[in-house]
Amino acid sequence: MSKTENEATQEMVYGIRPLMEALTSDKEIEKVFLQKGVGGKTFHELLPMLREREIPYQTVPIEKLNRITRKNHQGVIAYISPITFYRIEQLLPGIYEAGRSPFILILDKITDVRNFGAILRTAESAGVDAVLVPSKGGAQLNSGTIKSSAGAIYKIPICREHNLKEAILFLKNSGLRITAVTEKAEKVHFDEELTGPLALIMGSEGEGISGEYLKLADVKVRIPMLGTIASLNVSVATAVLLYEVVRQRGLKKKM
């Protein structure tokens, strides 16, 4: 399924006023496309609303908007998210209060919806408490994500973070051990202790984990590659790490 076809299956809002009404009614907005060069008083009222709610938006040529819809979009098209996003600052205290050791997954630059959906499916199965994604540069939450996640997208809390670095620092200061998975690490993953409060960072196959996030990591590990292929698909690599955490934690949940 192409990106345009995937986008077409999502619920959309067209026009400036309808989007402002959706925002004031607390609808979860996935992303917004704004036509380049559009101005006016109402348009300039919209921008602060998007920034305040940390909703990602992008200015694009009118041709792109016209390809998405033939309706009178007035230079504004917004996609409604299929889920409600959480705040990690609100989730983490509850995890500790429940007597559990937090298990958080952080995804940096995972853009492929099928990989993202597969990761969510594995994360939910492995007992991950929450998945953190950036508000910009991450995979879109659309029908492709829903299908590949096998419904896990509705069962695991997803936190869309405007500033992923600050979110990682929050987890670090809250007692979580930040563990980055990178092929540049010296230690292999099964030789590292992955018990206790843990946040696992996975990066894209192309770029890996951003340097600024690697600097925040307490531990760096790699998956040993014994063949001639240099790396695994990111969804497979994530599954390997998540279930190593499950193994080390001793399968405490009922099977």
Residue 254 lies in a domain: no
Same domain for 221 and 117: yes
Look at residues 125, 88, 104, 131 and name the one whose alpha carbon lies nearest to residue 197.
104
Q: What residues make up the domain containing 52?
A: 3-80
State which of 80, 105, 129 marks the end of a domain. 80
Domain count, the chain: 2
Output the pLDDT for position 219. Answer: 95
CATH of the domain at 51: 3.30.1330.30
Residue 178 lies in a domain: yes
Look at residues 255, 250, 216, 221 and name the one whose alpha carbon lies nearest to residue 238.
221
Residue 160, C-beta contacts closer than 8 angstroms, at least 6 positions apart: 54, 85, 133, 134, 135, 138
Residue 255 lies in a domain: no
The list of the chain residues with pLDDT below 70 reads: 1-10, 142-143, 251-255
Same domain for 119 and 48: no
Same domain for 136 and 65: no
Output the pLDDT for position 143. Answer: 67
State which of 42, 58, 80 marks the end of a domain. 80
Same domain for 112 and 234: yes
Output the pLDDT for position 44. Answer: 82
d(CA 125, CA 50): 34
Output the pLDDT for position 142. Answer: 67
Same domain for 240 and 211: yes
Same domain for 92 and 74: no
Evaluate whether 54 touches 23 at the Cβ level (below 8 Å). no
State which of 41, 64, 80 marks the end of a domain. 80
Q: What is the pTM of this model?
A: 0.81
Look at residues 253, 141, 117, 138 and name the one whose alpha carbon lies nearest to residue 207.
138
Residue 148, C-beta contacts closer than 8 angstroms, at least 6 positions apart: 113, 114, 115, 116, 117, 118, 121
Output the pLDDT for position 244. Answer: 96
